[in-house]
């Protein structure tokens, strides 16, 4: 897809989602990172519901370690993969205390060295908290970017590499959220609402379906 067309895609989608921001509720950098970790294979709504009470008593890694894994599970048991997530959150919190003086590192390599923090989580953190122009790729971003034709990549990591190369600089900070909201509300997994999609005249998926 040509740069001019990519620019047009984001111009159109930005009209639908003019002020895209994370819907996760958080208090500080630490609680944001925990929320992002919990959001893997879970909805923001379910995460916010679980963390509302959790963040009343836990606001930093020291308090999380004091809470302990067993008690943490009681707060997040409604979230998918909560056993693994609880284990990683406690391990991460201990590492922040022992290695990083209770502060979250800023560089990407240090972030992904933290237990439970992968490429997507680190990219979301850098984008939303540190204002680093990263395009984190979740299932929505992966689906939408490949359907529209922004990229044709077989994995989320390759999709991120491709998007960060081709998306115009002015959209790098917001592209992640724009594509997520479009995927949630319009370009749904099973039944995309192509008839009301603002980029349906550009979209490869729509064009291919009309031709078949």
Q: What amino acid positions are annotated as catalytic residues? A: 120, 138
What is the C-alpha separation between 77 and 3, in angstroms, rounded?
Answer: 45
What is the C-alpha separation between 77 and 53, in angstroms, rounded?
Answer: 13
What is the C-alpha separation between 52 and 26, in angstroms, rounded?
Answer: 9
Residues in CB range of 62: below 8 A, 6 or more apart? 93, 97, 102
- How would you write 125-153 as a 3-class SS string? HHHHCCCCCCCCCCHHHHHHHHHHCCCCC
């Amino acid at each position: 897809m040509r740069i001019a067309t990519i620019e047009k895609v984001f111009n159109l989608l930005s009209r639908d989602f003019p002020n895209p921001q994370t819907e996760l509720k958080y208090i500080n950098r630490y609680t944001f990172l925990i929320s992002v970790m919990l959001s893997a294979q879970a909805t923001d709504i379910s995460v916010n519901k679980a963390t509302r009470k959790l963040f009343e008593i836990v606001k930093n890694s020291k308090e999380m370690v004091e809470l302990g894994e067993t008690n943490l599970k009681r707060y997040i048991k409604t979230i998918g993969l909560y056993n693994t997530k609880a284990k990683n959150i406690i391990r991460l919190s201990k590492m922040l205390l022992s290695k990083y003086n209770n502060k979250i590192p800023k560089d990407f390599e240090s972030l992904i060295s933290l237990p439970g923090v992968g490429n997507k989580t680190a990219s979301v953190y850098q984008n939303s908290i540190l204002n680093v122009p990263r395009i984190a790729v979740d299932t929505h971003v992966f689906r939408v970017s490949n359907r529209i034709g922004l990229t044709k990549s077989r994995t989320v990591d390759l999709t991120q590499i491709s998007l960060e190369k081709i998306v115009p600089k002015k959209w790098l900070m917001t592209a992640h959220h724009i594509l997520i909201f479009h995927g949630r509300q319009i370009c749904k997994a099973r039944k995309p609402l192509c008839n009301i999609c603002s980029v349906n005249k550009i979209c490869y998926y729509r064009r291919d379906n009309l031709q078949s």
